[in-house]
Amino acid sequence: MKYVSTRGGVAPIPFKEAVMMGLARDGGLLLPESFPDVRDRLADWAKLSYESLAFEVVRLFADDIPADDLRAIVRKSYATFSPVPPAPDQAWTGPEVAPVRPVGPVHVLELFHGPTLAFKDFALQFLGNLFEYVLGEGGRELNVVVATSGDTGSAAIHGLRGRKGVRVFVLHPAGRVSPVQELQMTSVLDDNVFNIALAGTFDDAQRIVKGLFSDLPFKDEHRLGAVNSINWARVLAQVVYYFYGAFRTMERTGAKEVSFVVPTGNFGDVFAGYVAARMGLPVRRLRLATNENDILSRFFASGVYSLGRVVPTLSPSMDIQIASNFERWLFLHAGRDAAQVRAWMDAFAKNGSLEVPRAADGSLDATLCAGRADTAATLETIRRFHADFGYLMDPHTAVGVSVALASGDAAGGAPVVCLSTAHPAKFPDAIGRATGDASLATEPRVEALKGAPTRKFPLPNDLRAVADFVAART
């Protein structure tokens, strides 16, 4: 399997090289030259544990890693999760790291049972082990620079802390992540971890990271690596739980296909589902859900991708206006025409907007669609599902569930799987506003953080300041 850039300026490269490159050297994003068709394997895959399924999916894209080595990387990655006992009404009997809970009219795919209580652990535990493996082959070093709107930072830190040959620099928007999210990052005091509190938004942090990677002499001199979802391995690891969630839901309901609703800001998580559908997973509909920062839902309604102002919300990991992984969808939508992608991205860089023509039937994509839920709808969804079903969800999950209900997906023929991206204990303020009782949002690992010593480095919203900080420590 070889990888190419969405902007056409990188010769096809193997998986390990793509992982270490992160952002393509021409400024684009890397994608496999093709997606394997796995429809003839679905029946066998449906019987597998999560770990075994992850190995089968990943090996199709990582064929330059020996099978035994890859199996060991996968095993080590998910050994850090807290397995959940199976529900009594399902045939599957093994412990699960990604359980599906039937809750009222939807099925909730819980992705928060990893070490930092967020879905990012699925990719970043894997990527941390993958980095260590590849670096160990050549005795090299890597300096990871990552922007975070909340969960990526802590998951990256916990995936890379103490790793030999790796340093990690995390840029989070100062004052724009939840207190628990900040504690999960700044309470890690390992010598190879540097938390940067940036005076700006997530989009500012992401712009600075892309600026560092686009400066090729700087990137090469300081051996920069990426763990944001611009790194293909991040997306690949997340593809697995779409297969797993669909299998468990179809097993329980007897359905032949499912729909997914995905709360998203950077388009990486929903793009992983799009890849699964391209591989042959029977997905009727894949609906992304945004909060008030709705550049993506506006695009799928209008065909125009245009910048707005970032609005702080109860779901801070989605407070994003520039969705990096959207470029991967544009590349596929354009029939892998890199010149067209370059033209679109040049227009966006110049004007803050781009427009994509619709198909003859008026649609943009036969599988993808979108919806939006504001703060009031988010709070009402948390309140209602706790009151009616005894189920507590975090505000990001509530955005997705709210969109599923408002869109009518949950009343359709195919069961609807809503991705639950974080544990509610990470957002006690939102839980308190919705239910009147913030103490409902508890979890032992979160409680243990309170009062812990912390360390962070405040920096201005300036590319040169961040570059100098990284250079002085590498």
The catalytic residue positions are 120
Alpha carbon distance 431, 438 (integer Å): 5
Whole-angstrom distance, CA of residue 214 vs CA of residue 341: 17
Q: How far apart are CA 274 and CA 267, in angstroms?
A: 10
Contact 22, 230 (CB under 8 A): yes
Residue spans of alpha helices (H) in 317-357:
326-333, 338-351
Helix or strand holding residue 375 (H, E): helix 375-389
In 148-230, which ranges are E strands?
166-173, 193-198, 224-225
3-state helix, strand, coil in the chain (%, to 5): 45, 15, 40
φ, ψ for residue 91 (rounded to 5)?
-75, -30
Amino acid letter, residue 348: F
Non-local (6+) Cβ contacts of 393 within 8 A are 108, 381, 382, 385, 386, 401, 420, 424
